[in-house]
Amino acid sequence: MMNDLDAIVATAKSAFAQARTPADLENAKAQFLGKSGRMTELMKGLAALSVDEKKSRGAAINLAKQAIEAALNASRQALADAELATQLQAEALDVTLPGRQRGQGGLHPVSLAQERIEAIFGSMGFDVAQGPEIEADWFNFTALNTPEDHPARSMHDTFYVEGGSATAPNLLRTHTSPMQIRYAVQHVKRHRIAAGDSGAGLFSGAMPEIRVIAPGRTYRVDSDATHSPMFHQVEGLWVGENISFKDLKSVYLNFITTFFETDALQLRFRPSYFPFTEPSAEIDIMFESGPLKGRWLEVSGSGQVHPQVIRNMGLDPERYIGFAFGSGIDRLAMLRYGVNDLRLFFEGDVRFLSQFQ
């Protein structure tokens, strides 16, 4: 039969087990082990017993007390374990979820090609200039020896804007050649002033050479796998006192072998026609190895700057002469990166674009 002490221990255990919080547990503890708790009362009761009874009853009470303390500690531990388990669950991490990523940006392949071109010509002493995309008829055509009734204009059909005039911006430029005029006129003006020249008439004094490239967007009414209504060109211009086709050939060969990182290619000039150069030539290249091996590929128009264009720059063609070229940047980027459809460059599909990073 259960004695009174065993009964108290059992009651204490079940009271501790029912405690849901540490505060509940401490309240339950006070009922048994506190100053006026059940065990303390029992100890006080010892005073009325004989010495022998005190001994055996005292030892039994102590055993019961220890059992209650052990149960209390076990319950404290259980509550702490449960609290930790709840916390871990609330803060659980799914380590199998994919990590959060910040998208890494990068340059467009056409921009990468343009940066290469600028660096290569920069190393050959060429300035890099930018010009307006909405251009005046004068710069895009007339100053380039292409008057209004010239048949060459029909190959440069473009987009016209409202409110322009022959000298105010009225069209989207069809090539970067207007930059030949814009840049040269500024260059000549600056050096005439520096030389104390009055500025009237064509300039035939001494000045530093004009050596510039002008990359940028150009526009024509044209659209298929190799033509886009917006495309990129880079203009090159070198004007001095004795600049000839042989300079054009050495500069262009140096450029193209550096751009494609190979000497295994050939360059040829194919006679052509542009109103602003005379003579004029298309520049073709042929790779001697690789997937494009053996095919002549057109990469640029070029020629010796026409005397009338030299005049429109403000220079005396008896003293100044030079060459110009205009190359398709998109075409060069397609060849360098092995892209077979120009339109991929302008669709903005990251699956395509991320391959160039």
Closer of 75 and 302 to ligand PHE (Cβ)? 302
Output 16 or 276, the one with its CB closest to ligand PHE. Answer: 276
Q: What are phi and psi of 304, to 5 degrees?
A: -85, 130
Amino acid code (one letter) for 178? P
Residue 290, number of CB atoms within 10 A of its CB: 13
CA neighbor of 146 nearest in space, from 123, 175, 172: 175
Q: Long-range CB contacts (< 8 A, 24+ apart) of 39-48?
A: 39/8, 39/64, 39/65, 39/68, 42/5, 42/8
Residue 106: CB minimum distance to ligand PHE, A: 29
Q: Which residues bind ligand PHE (CB under 6 A)?
A: 175, 177, 274, 277, 301-303, 324-326
Pick the closer one to ligand PHE by CB: 21 or 130. Answer: 130
Nearest approach, Cβ of residue 353 and ligand PHE (Å): 26
Could you tell me the smallest distance in angstroms from the CB atom of residue 144 to ligand PHE? 8
Q: How far is the CB of 303 from ligand PHE (least distance, A)?
A: 5
Q: For residues 69 and 278, which CB has a smaller minimum distance to ligand PHE in the complex?
A: 278
3-class DSSP state for residue 88?
Answer: helix
CB of 113 to ligand PHE, least distance (A): 17
Contact 237, 248 (CB under 8 A): no
User: By C-beta, is 216 or 303 nearer to ligand PHE?
Assistant: 303
Alpha helices in the chain (DSSP H): 4-18, 22-33, 38-45, 51-90, 109-123, 137-140, 178-194, 245-259, 307-312, 329-337, 350-353
Name the residue with the smallest CB distance to ligand PHE: 326
Q: How far is the CB of 118 from ligand PHE (least distance, A)?
A: 17
- Report how far residue 270's alpha carbon sits from residue 302's, in angstroms, rounded to the nearest whole number: 10
Q: Is 194 left (phi over 0), alpha (psi -120 to 50) or beta?
A: alpha
Whose Cβ is closer to ligand PHE: residue 175's or residue 182's? Answer: 175
